[in-house]
């Protein structure tokens, strides 16, 4: 397969996955203001959205709700918006129509038209919940068609590699953002009720609240939340699970552990670290550990660019 084609498929998976996480963060974080403690005001929530979505915002400038929501979702001038990401994913899919299924192309195209045609004025006033919920459902349908209509060959593996690498990145970014939110709310002071509420929000941001309760049989706190989202190898939105998926697809593409700087070696070493890691070993430096993981995932992406896609 040509490196250009491989790169297009990989980024198609990344763009699609990115839209889902942006939409979910927007919905869950925004609507937490409806039943949040008084300390969590609207500006705090909007600041968290700006931070996670990476929107440039002048320090000290008052947050403008409609402007921020539009920038994250429908702003064509923001390369990180949901509309920009689905537009890029659709362009990549259109270029690959001869090697992906018609069914997969059609659901990606349908998702693009849903986002592109969504009324901006309605979105800013009443459409946030409807828009973000539908975006998540479109992504779920697309992933289903990826797995059920594509031959599980290199084409499929490259798209799925992009999906899981992007998901790992987004999970790490979301955990880091919520840890920062907790620091903003509590400073250096202990406030368990505020912290535990934010851990509940974090689990909902990654659709892990119910499974966390089933796993621990108790309400979430710092240890139960972080251990679950970082080290649980069976939960599909944990770092450990997605790193193992990245390793699986790297091996399926034949990228073995030849040298210390090879793609297979980098991801294998990262997975081995997670496999034998215990939460007490990172308990006092969770934020630093997640940031280090994010840096290694970026390094892995750089290695793919250099050694496989030849960008």
pLDDT in tens, 262-287: 888 889 989 999 999 999 999 999 99
> Residue 147: which pLDDT band, with cuts at 50, 70 and 90?
very high
- Structure confidence at residue 119 (pLDDT): 96
Residue 51 burial (C-beta neighbours within 10 Å; 0-12, 13-18, 19+): middle
Instruction: Specify the 3-state DSSP secondary structure of 122.
Output: helix
Instruction: Report the C-alpha gap between 302 and 299 in whole angstroms.
Output: 5
Task: Say yes or no to pLDDT of 181 above 70.
Answer: yes
Task: Say yes or no to pLDDT of 191 above 80.
Answer: no
Report pTM: 0.93
Q: Are 168 and 18 in contact (CB under 8 A)?
A: no
DSSP 68-106: HHHHHHT-TT-TTSHHHHHHHHHHHHHHTTTTS-HHHHH
Least confident of 55-64, 146-155, 168-177, 279-288: 55-64
Summarised one tens digit per residue, pLDDT across range 103-138 is 999 999 999 999 999 999 999 999 999 999 999 999
Residues 6+ apart with CB under 8 A from 114: 134, 135, 138
Instruction: Report the C-alpha gap between 71 and 52 in whole angstroms.
Output: 12
- What are the b/e assignments for 248-271, b being 16+ CB within 10 Å? bbbebbebeeeeeebbbbbbbebb
Residue 292: alpha-carbon gap to chain centroid: 17
- Structure confidence at residue 36 (pLDDT): 63
> Residue 96: which pLDDT band, with cuts at 50, 70 and 90?
very high
Residue 9: alpha-carbon gap to chain centroid: 18
Q: Calculate mean pLDDT across residues 54-72.
A: 89
Mean per-residue pLDDT of the chain: 92
Least confident of 2-6, 30-34, 75-79, 137-141: 30-34
Residues 6+ apart with CB under 8 A from 38: none
Instruction: Report the C-alpha gap between 154 and 225 in whole angstroms.
Output: 35
The answer to whether the Cα torsion of 177, 179, 180, 181 is positive or negative is: positive
> Residue 305: which pLDDT band, with cuts at 50, 70 and 90?
confident
């Amino acid at each position: 397969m040509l490196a250009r084609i491989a790169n297009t498929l990989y980024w198609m998976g990344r763009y699609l996955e990115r839209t889902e996480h942006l939409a979910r963060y927007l919905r869950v974080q925004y609507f937490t203001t409806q039943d949040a403690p008084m300390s969590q005001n609207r500006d705090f929530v909007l600041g968290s959205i700006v931070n996670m979505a990476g929107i440039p915002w002048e320090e000290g400038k008052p947050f403008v709700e409609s402007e921020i929501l539009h920038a994250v979702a429908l702003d064509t001038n923001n390369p990180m918006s949901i509309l920009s990401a689905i537009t890029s994913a659709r362009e990549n899919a259109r270029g690959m129509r001869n090697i992906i299924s018609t069914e997969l192309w059609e659901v990606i195209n349908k998702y693009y038209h849903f986002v592109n045609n969504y009324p901006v004025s309605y979105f800013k006033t009443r459409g946030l919940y409807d828009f973000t919920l539908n975006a998540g459902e479109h992504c779920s349908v697309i992933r289903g068609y990826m797995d059920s209509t594509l031959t599980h060959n290199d084409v499929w593996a490259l798209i799925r590699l992009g999906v899981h690498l992007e998901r790992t990145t987004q999970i790490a970014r979301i955990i880091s953002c919520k840890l920062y939110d907790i620091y903003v709310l509590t400073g250096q002071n202990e406030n368990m009720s505020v912290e535990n509420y934010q851990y509940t929000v974090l689990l909902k941001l990654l659709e892990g609240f119910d499974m966390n309760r089933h796993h621990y049989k108790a309400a979430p706190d710092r240890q139960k939340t972080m251990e679950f989202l970082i080290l649980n190898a069976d939960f599909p939105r944990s770092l450990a699970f997605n790193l193992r998926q990245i390793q699986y697809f790297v091996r399926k593409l034949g990228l073995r552990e030849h040298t210390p700087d090879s793609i297979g070696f980098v991801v294998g070493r990262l997975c081995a670290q997670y496999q034998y890691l215990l939460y007490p070993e990172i308990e006092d430096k969770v934020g630093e550990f997640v940031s280090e993981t994010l840096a290694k995932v970026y390094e892995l992406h750089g290695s793919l660019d250099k050694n496989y896609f030849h960008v």
